[in-house]
Amino acid sequence: MSYPLDKRGLKMRQCLYCKANISEESVIDFCERCGKGVWGEKMFNTIIEKMESSREKGDI
């Protein structure tokens, strides 16, 4: 999957749902607001923690 580049040469990423810009650092492809809307705040936080811990281990 590729992303358009912004003027600094950084990859632009957008929320899958609302197209808001999201951080390149983000481990997810959607914004916090949409994530919480889809999963609820508690589940969303759990998903983020799992994604971040698996990224640190190099699983992604």
Residue numbers at the binding site for Zn ion (CB under 5 A): 15, 17-18, 20, 31, 34
Q: Crossing angle of helices 41-56/32-39, nearest 10°?
A: 120
Cβ 58 to Zn ion, closest distance in Å? 27
Cβ proximity to Zn ion: between 15 and 28 the closer is 15
Cβ proximity to Zn ion: between 29 and 52 the closer is 29
Cβ proximity to Zn ion: between 5 and 18 the closer is 18
Cβ 19 to Zn ion, closest distance in Å? 7
CA angle 15, 17, 22 (to 5 degrees): 10
Cβ 14 vs Cβ 28: under 8 Å: no
Q: Measured between alpha carbons, how far is 19 from 3 in angstroms, rounded to an integer?
A: 13
